[in-house]
Amino acid sequence: MSVDIKLPEGAPEEVVTQALVRDVDLRAFGATGTLALITLDNGHDHNRPNTFGPQSLLALDAAITEATSRNPVAIAITGKPFIFAAGADLSALSFITNREQSLAIGKLGHDVFRRLGESKIPTFAFINGLALGGGLEVGLHCHYRTLASTAFTALPEVFLGLVPGWGGATILPKLIGPERAIQVIMLNALNNNTMMKSKDALKLGVVDVVFEPSDFLERSIAFAAAVLNGKTVLERKDYSSDPAWDSALATGKAAALKKYGGAEIASPLKALELISSAKTNTLGQGFDAEDIALADLTMSDPLRASLYAFNVIQKKRKKVEGAPKPALARKVGKVGVVGAGLMASQLALLLLRNLKCPIVMTDIDQERADKGVAWVKNELAKLVEKKRMSAETAGRLSLLISGSSDQSVFAGCDFIIEAIFEELSLKQELFRKLETIVSPECVLATNTSSLSVEHMGEGLKNPERVVGFHFFNPVAVMPLLEVARTSKTDDATTATAISVGKELKKTMIICKDAPGFVVNRLLTRFMGEITDAVDEGTPVDVADNAMRSIGFPMSPFQLLDLVGPGVALHVSEVLHANLGERYRISPTMAAMVKSGIRNFYIKSEDGTVSVNPAALELIHKGDSPSTAEQVRNRALTALAVEARMMLDEGVVSTAAEIDLCMLMGAGWPMHLGGILPYLDREGISDSACGHSFHPKGVASLP
């Protein structure tokens, strides 16, 4: 095949995945003839997975031609150690400005992969490791698939603003039926890109058999031999008349609408169209439809935005901006958690599971400390019940967690994190007492969401070991961790905090010790504009739904219910005191807290959600209502102004770090590409600040 697809100007050079062919004599496996085995290998270690750009696709095409010329009885494809293929090389997509070029890339992938499906001799995919997107799709084109028990597979395209565009949206519904195809293509992707474990892929019918990695290739070849000599026969079901098509598609659409707060986002809708068409389309018709859908999405801002967001997350997950040298980090062999409430207990569990070192919890009395320890042990037991942890592991970890009312148990700790009531004087008193118990090198970390970390260290002999370590709730689920340095925090303390955060598998940013850090400062400013609009007389439904069209998973007042009015009011008060009148105290929120009303929305027995009448009664009724468009503009303008101030103040050093925080800590939708690219595209950055946050073409069409 001769195809000339040049990479767009400015795009990074493709790392070519070579396809190497060798013959395997099948006589030792009980069959006659040879199997032509193609191995994908980009020449890098397992940290750089195999991917498919134009040159890699042409290399695979040449390998299929070579394999066929050897007259084998079957062709198989596998990957380098630990990696099958991670799909399309997306690095050049954001540079494409020509729709015809996008169509050509889609068609090239189909033309190469379909040779395996249309082969007159049997084809096998020996999926020996990670297989994502196009990596799984090349396997779907093969007639049979084996999978290593340690491998993860997924079609993450909808999560990234794409569709499975190299056969997945057409082949998979035909192979496993509409309900299971919706699970893999839609539900898994929309659930933060959930990957299938080997047992899941086998149960769903995505693969035919699973083998252990120790002898995976040998057993896969033996499986192929058994198919070839007739000892193993696999039947494929025809799903064209399956009665579940309509209900499955309805499930997929409902999931997409829920994910994006009712907004109709292009990529999931396109995926649903392709899945629906797979019921009657031939494979060729389906592949043509995938090419068109892929080209349409490629030439759209939501895809560019999603790729920008994805790349920011991946980059910052690997390297923390401004982090000291890792060698400066001190060894952490014992950890203290001050507090035994829900947040503190979640922290203890996370630390225990990942650091696997002694964790000591304290509270004001033994009963409360015991309750926190019991909660942690109960959560370990639940993991055993769900088969996510062995009983032996849970037993070992249970021996490492203890609780006390006596803070002297913190002696010997290398790292202590406090999660007590948000009162500065209490935290100052705590740190002063801890300093008399622990060594001068022990890190004193605070999980405060808004208070001054520097003030907490005032009067200490060693204020350089105090650092902000702000998690988001729920601790185990939310990926972001804000590490706040004071003017006195030293590099060794910061490096130790970053080291612990990496062990906890968190995505981190280092920020200046400023009120609200990053996420709470921006969210509180944003929420304040919504509550102000309501206090001024804007109907609740108008203000609360003003942002629905852009795809937030929940409205501002739903978020308020999740956070709790008490916490929201406290943060507002702290920011008001430190940053001034732009952080106004909502009389409605103050009245809700004073009256003990915890929810703005209530759910009836039949599941209907409505505004809590008791909360409505407390709304400060102004006489200056706004339209939804006015509410939306004022909220977004406030975000732009606040973000500009934060960058000017050095709260973080780059706009990308703000984007990361809002993506990972506030659920800002991926298809918007982060808060600042969205404000740039909408023209709000220019109107509010006089210029954009990012260069033109970042997270949008050039």
Reading the block at residue 333, the tokens are 């062999």
- Strand spans (E) along 52-150: 74-79, 83-85, 123-127, 130-132, 144-148
Q: Kindly state whether residues 478 and 380 are assigned to the same domain.
A: yes
At 619 the three-state DSSP class reads: coil
What is the CATH number for 440?
A: 3.40.50.720
At residue 552 the predicted structure's pLDDT band, cuts being 50, 70 and 90, is confident
Across 495-511, average pLDDT: 97
Q: Please report the pLDDT score of residue 453 as a whole number.
A: 98
Nearest-angstrom CA–CA distance, 633 and 655: 21
Q: Is residue 525 part of a domain?
A: yes
pLDDT recorded at residue 202: 98
Say which residue, 695 or 40, is predicted with more confidence.
40
Does pLDDT of 253 surpass 90? yes
* Region 485-499 average pLDDT: 98
Cis peptide upstream of residue 463 (ω within 30 degrees of 0): no
The span from the CA of 70 to the CA of 284, in Å, is 27
Please report, as a single letter, which amino acid is at residue 536. E
Cβ–Cβ < 8 Å for 509, 660: yes
Mean pLDDT of 41-52: 88
Distances (CA, A) of 212 to 82, 206, 207, 455: 12, 17, 14, 55
> 């007389």: which residue's tokens?
537
CATH of the domain at 555: 1.10.1040.50
Per-residue pLDDT band for 94 (boundaries 50, 70, 90) equals: confident
What pLDDT is attached to residue 393?
97
Question: Confidence band (pLDDT; 50, 70, 90) for 3?
Answer: low
Question: Does residue 660 form part of some domain?
Answer: no
Q: What is the 3-state secondary structure (H, E, C) of 623-690?
A: CCCCCHHHHHHHHHHHHHHHHHHHHHHCCCCCHHHHHHHHHHHCCCCHHHCCHHHHHHHCCHHHHHHC
Question: What is the phi-psi region of residue 260: left when phi exceeds 0, alpha when psi lies from -120 to 50, beta otherwise?
Answer: alpha
Cβ proximity of 148 and 127 under 8 Å: yes
pLDDT of 494 strictly over 90: yes
pLDDT at 700 over 90: no
- Out of 461, 487, 512, pick the residue that ends a domain: 512
Higher-confidence position of 261 and 284: 284
Q: Are residues 163 and 60 in the same domain?
A: yes
Query: Is the pLDDT confidence value at 570 over 70?
Result: yes
Rounded to whole angstroms, the Cα distance separating 204 from 188 reads 13
Rg (CA), the chain: 28
Q: What is the pLDDT of residue 624?
A: 95
Judge whether 311 lies within some domain: no
Report residue 77's pLDDT band, with 50, 70 and 90 as the boundaries. very high
Residues 6+ apart with CB under 8 A from 48: 15, 42
Residue with the larger pLDDT of the pair 120 and 96: 120
**Confidence at residue 2, expressed as pLDDT on a 0 to 100 scale:** 54
Q: Looking at 488, 512, 536, which one is the last position of a domain?
A: 512
342 and 258 both lie in a single domain: no
Which of the listed residues 490, 512, 534 is the one where a domain comes to its end? 512
- pLDDT class of 550 with cuts at 50, 70, 90: confident
Q: Is 334 inside any structural domain?
A: yes
Q: Which residue, among 294, 376, 348, has the nearest Cα to 106 in the 3D structure? A: 294
- Which tens digit of pLDDT belongs to each residue from 125-163? 999 999 999 999 999 999 999 999 999 999 999 999 999
Neighbours of 617 (CB within 10 A): 10
254 plus 113 within the same structural domain: yes
Contact (Cβ atoms closer than 8 angstroms) between residue 344 and residue 685: no
678 part of a folded domain: no
pTM of the entire predicted model: 0.90
Residue-level pLDDT at 502: 97
DSSP sequence for 327-389: GGPPP---EEEE--SHHHHHHHHHHHHHH-S-EEEE-SSHHHHHHHHHHHHHHHHHHHHTTSS
CA distances from 578 to 451, 475, 497 (A): 10, 27, 26
Residue 414's CB: how many other CB atoms inside 10 A?
Answer: 19
Range of the domain at 232: 18-299
Supply the residues annotated as catalytic: 137, 157
Residue 48's pLDDT is: 86
Residue 631 has pLDDT above 70, yes or no: yes
Based on the domain organization, do 333 and 456 belong to the same domain? yes
State whether 390 and 486 are in the same domain: yes
59-63, 235-239, 600-604, 638-642 — which is least confidently predicted?
600-604
From the CB of residue 105, how many other CB atoms can be counted at a distance below 10 Å? 26
Q: What is the mean pLDDT of residues 611-629?
A: 93
447 has a pLDDT exceeding 90: yes
Predicted confidence (pLDDT) at residue 351 exceeds the cutoff of 70? yes
Banded model confidence at residue 168, pLDDT cuts 50, 70, 90: very high
**Does 508 lie in the same domain as 388?**
yes
Q: Are residues 495 and 523 in the same domain?
A: no
Residues in the chain: 702
Q: State residue 4's pLDDT score.
A: 65
Higher model confidence: residue 700 or residue 328?
328
The whole-angstrom separation of Cα 105 and Cα 57 is 9
* Cα distances (Å, whole numbers) of residue 188 to 278, 405, 453, 627: 19, 44, 39, 37
Angstrom distance (rounded) from CA 197 to CA 181 = 16
Query: Does 291 share its domain with 364?
Result: no
In this structure, the answer to whether residues 130 and 243 fall within a common structural domain is: yes
Q: Please tell me whether residues 590 and 634 are part of one structural domain.
A: yes
Distance in angstroms (rounded) separating the CA atoms of residues 369 and 385: 25
Residue 701 lies in a domain: no
For residues 69 and 196, membership in a common domain is answered with: yes
121: DSSP letter: S
Q: Looking at the domain assignment, is residue 466 inside a domain?
A: yes
CATH code for the domain of 95 = 3.90.226.10
pLDDT, position 516? 96
**Average confidence (pLDDT) over 169-191:** 97
Our count of domains for the chain comes to 3
Q: How confident is the model at residue 1 (pLDDT cuts 50, 70, 90)?
A: low
More confident residue, 434 or 316: 434
**Average model confidence (pLDDT) across the chain:** 94
CB 453 within 8 A of CB 484: yes
